């Protein structure tokens, strides 16, 4: 079992070169983080991990919030932040270093109650228009996998359902939890059974910080093994996500 206690000394110069750990927080995925209704401050699993990492490094943490995963990827790739919380994807992996996953999240489809589409297998058909958050892991996956339907890009993942309704599109794709919440607040909508993909959420950092990546990998494995991630999910009442398995 990997643990920070057995890892080399924390490479603060790579993980927090300015003396402050700059962490990108994605408000586009409610499983990772949301804005607290009372305080306006970010809260969630990714926020807890960022603060715990800062504590381990002995540095203050600056939370920089973004409306969509694509913006987080851009910030990490350009080294405008020190760490980010992003889905593992071959496209994103070309611009940053990534840890093993700490969470596994399901992607789902949403349709209207009167839609003729009854299963995930019926979505990728000519004439169907699928709306997805631009630059999200779901967008990247569907761009590779969809062969017959047409993809329509919403500016962010939380905007998917509203655009789906406004433009009278056929399918909305995204985080299962987000779409379930939309179906509950808006009449006439239903989720298709099952999932069309599983997303592995990891921590990322700019390229060239290899010692930082090794430390982050050990950190993530310890956060899973110690129950920290599971406790964060429970504390924030998150459903639709599971702690990722420990790496062999």
Residue 2: per-residue pLDDT: 41
Beta strands in 91-196 (DSSP E): 96-98, 103-112, 129-133, 150-154, 171-175, 189-191
Same-domain status, 204 and 84: yes
Residue 121 lies in a domain: yes
Establish if 213 belongs to a structural domain. Answer: yes
Is residue 83, in this structure, part of any structural domain at all? yes
Domain that holds residue 29: 4-103+200-243
> Which pLDDT score, from 0 to 100, does residue 8 have?
55
Q: Judge if 99 and 110 occupy the same domain.
A: no
Determine, yes or no, domain membership for 81: yes
Alpha helices in 111-206 (DSSP H): 137-145, 160-166, 176-185
pLDDT for residue 4: 45
Q: Rounded to a whole number, what is the distance in angstroms from the first to the last CA of the chain?
A: 8
Assess if residue 169 is contained within a domain. yes
Same domain (yes/no): 175, 220? no
Residues 182 and 135 in one domain: yes
Number of Cβ within a 10 Å radius of residue 70: 23
Q: CA 104 to CA 110: how far, in whole Å?
A: 20
128 and 212 in a single domain? The answer is no
One domain, residues 10 and 95: yes
- As for how many domains the chain has, the answer is 2
> Do 193 and 207 belong together in one domain?
no
- Domain endpoint, select from 197, 214, 234: 197
Looking only at the bridges linking them, the beta strands covering 171-175 and 129-133 are: parallel
Domain shared by 87 and 42, yes or no? yes
Per-residue tens of pLDDT for the chain, all 248 residues? 344 444 458 899 999 999 999 999 999 888 899 999 899 899 999 999 999 999 999 999 999 999 988 899 999 999 999 999 999 988 878 899 999 999 998 899 999 999 999 999 999 999 999 999 998 888 989 999 999 999 999 998 889 999 999 999 999 999 888 899 899 999 999 999 999 999 899 999 999 999 999 999 999 999 999 999 999 999 999 877 899 999 98
User: Are residue 117 and residue 89 in the same domain, yes or no?
Assistant: no
Is the domain of 91 the same as that of 114?
no
**Pair 183, 226 in one domain:** no
Instruction: Report yes or no on 248 lying in a domain.
Output: no
**What CATH number did the domain enclosing 169 receive?**
3.40.190.10
- Judgement on whether residues 207 and 96 belong to the same structural domain of the protein: yes
């Amino acid at each position: 079992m990997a643990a920070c206690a057995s890892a080399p000394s924390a490479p603060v110069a790579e993980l927090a070169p300015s003396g402050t750990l700059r962490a990108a927080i994605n408000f586009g995925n409610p499983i990772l983080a949301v804005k607290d209704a009372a305080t306006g401050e970010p809260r969630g699993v990714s926020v807890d991990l960022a603060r715990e990492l800062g504590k381990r490094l002995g540095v203050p943490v600056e939370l920089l919030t973004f409306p969509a995963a694509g913006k987080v990827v851009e910030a990490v790739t350009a080294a405008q932040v020190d760490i980010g919380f992003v889905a593992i994807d071959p496209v994103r992996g070309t611009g940053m270093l990534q840890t093993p996953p700490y969470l596994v999240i399901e992607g789902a489809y949403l349709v209207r109650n009167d839609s003729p589409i009854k299963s995930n297998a019926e979505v990728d058909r000519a004439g169907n228009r699928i709306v997805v958050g631009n630059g999200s892991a779901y967008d990247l996956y569907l761009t590779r996998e969809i062969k017959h339907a047409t993809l329509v890009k919403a500016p962010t993942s939380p905007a998917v359902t509203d655009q789906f309704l406004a433009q009278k599109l056929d399918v909305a794709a995204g985080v299962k939890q987000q779409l379930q919440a939309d179906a509950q607040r808006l009449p006439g909508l239903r989720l298709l059974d099952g999932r069309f993909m599983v997303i592995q959420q990891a921590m990322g950092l700019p390229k060239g910080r290899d010692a930082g990546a090794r430390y982050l990998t050990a950190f993530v494995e310890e956060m899973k093994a110690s129950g920290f991630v599971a406790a964060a999910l429970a504390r924030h009442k998150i459903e639709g996500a599971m702690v990722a398995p420990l790496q062999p």
